[in-house]
Amino acid sequence: MVKSKYINSLMARAKKNVKTIVLPEGEDLRVLEAAHIVSEEGVAKLIVLGNVAEMQAHFAAKGWRTDGIEFINPEESPRLREYADLLYELRKEKGLSRDDADKLALNHNYFGTLMIKSGHADGMVSGANHSTADTVRPALQIIKAAKKGASASSFFIMISHDEPYIFSDCGVIINPTDKELADIALNAAQTAILLGIEPNVAMLSFSTKGSAKGDEVDKVTRATKMAQEALLTDEYKNLGIKIDGELQADAALDSVVAAKKAPGSEVAGKARVLIFPNLEAGNICYKLLQRLGDCEAYGPILQGLNAPVNDLSRGCFAEDVVGAIVITCIQATK
């Protein structure tokens, strides 16, 4: 079972509207264990890709039921031709040859992503054995960002003392421009709303309200202004989102520090969504909190895509895979 109360509460939500999630890494025993837990809980229908006989033998050896789970070997799938044709059509203008489309459709991450594109699955969770780039690239190429001209990014749910926080972007955009940083903040705020977390967004920096100077600080203040301007538009104005910056992490989270460093801020001291100035800061920070700070970390979860495709850390446990599947189900209900 999953230990986090918060993830359990999301699990209860997911059960009310069961989605189909594809897991491309059926060769991984952590993924098979997660598939067993999720199907026993009735959280999602699952499609697991891999060697069907081997996966079924593992379930039989463990005494696990396979109800609610479909095992597919892409090489033997009657839909392989259909998916390869779809991939070719979608990518031929980008220079993909028919031969390469045929080969790529056999790659489990591409096969799973093409299942979503074809409406045969609602979401995907992969990455127990693949790098973030290899998991995310097919999604960016095939599923695409939900809004034209906007970027997809990623977030982690970080759980500290049973309280969930959103950290973004710790997984995709390496060095965001001002506009990308503003998009990350707006996407993360919408993610927070979807996941029942207060959309109080802090744009993090090593400076609070002008306490330090530098190009890095200026980038965060410009992105904050862009995101705040977007909050006045019809798309965002009634969502209750608050964004402020630039803030140091202590001013964002601690009300005593906030009163000194950022008096009058609606967000300082109450932030639940933390936006990092770049991937380096975000990725290092989430891993430190996970290893030294006793926080649970779920992600990277993609945001801003047309359908949910989510990554796992290669060091993940079966419980993390369950958490990622649950979050993917909630995103798929949007």
Ligand X SMILES: CC(C)(COP(=O)(O)OP(=O)(O)OC[C@H]1O[C@@H](n2cnc3c(N)ncnc32)[C@H](O)[C@@H]1OP(=O)(O)O)[C@@H](O)C(=O)NCCC(=O)NCCS
Binding site for ligand X (CB under 6 A): 94, 132-133, 136-137, 140-141, 145, 151-153, 171-174, 283, 300
**For ligand X, the closer CB: 62 or 314:** 314
**For ligand X, the closer CB: 143 or 330:** 143
171 in Cβ contact with 300 (< 8 Å): yes
Distance CA 171, CA 4 (A): 22
**For ligand X, the closer CB: 187 or 248:** 187
User: Whose CB is nearest to ligand X?
Assistant: 140
**For ligand X, the closer CB: 205 or 283:** 283
Distance CA 305, CA 147 (A): 8
264 in Cβ contact with 271 (< 8 Å): no
Q: Is 246 helix (H, G, I), strand (E, B) or coil?
A: strand
* CB 92 to ligand X: min, Å: 12
Residue type, 72: I
What token pair was written down for 28?
Answer: 């991984």
* CB 179 to ligand X: min, Å: 12
End-to-end CA distance of the chain: 26
230 in Cβ contact with 178 (< 8 Å): no
* CB 172 to ligand X: min, Å: 5
**For ligand X, the closer CB: 59 or 156:** 156
220 in Cβ contact with 181 (< 8 Å): yes
In sequence order, which residues have a C-beta less than 8 Å from that of residue 3 and are 6 or more positions away?
A: 296, 319
* CB 166 to ligand X: min, Å: 15
**For ligand X, the closer CB: 55 or 152:** 152
* CB 296 to ligand X: min, Å: 16
* CB 309 to ligand X: min, Å: 11
The phi, psi pair for 154, rounded to 5°, reads -140, 165
List of E strands, the chain = 19-23, 44-49, 69-72, 123-126, 153-160, 163-168, 200-204, 242-247, 273-275, 296-303, 309-311
**For ligand X, the closer CB: 153 or 207:** 153
* CB 285 to ligand X: min, Å: 12
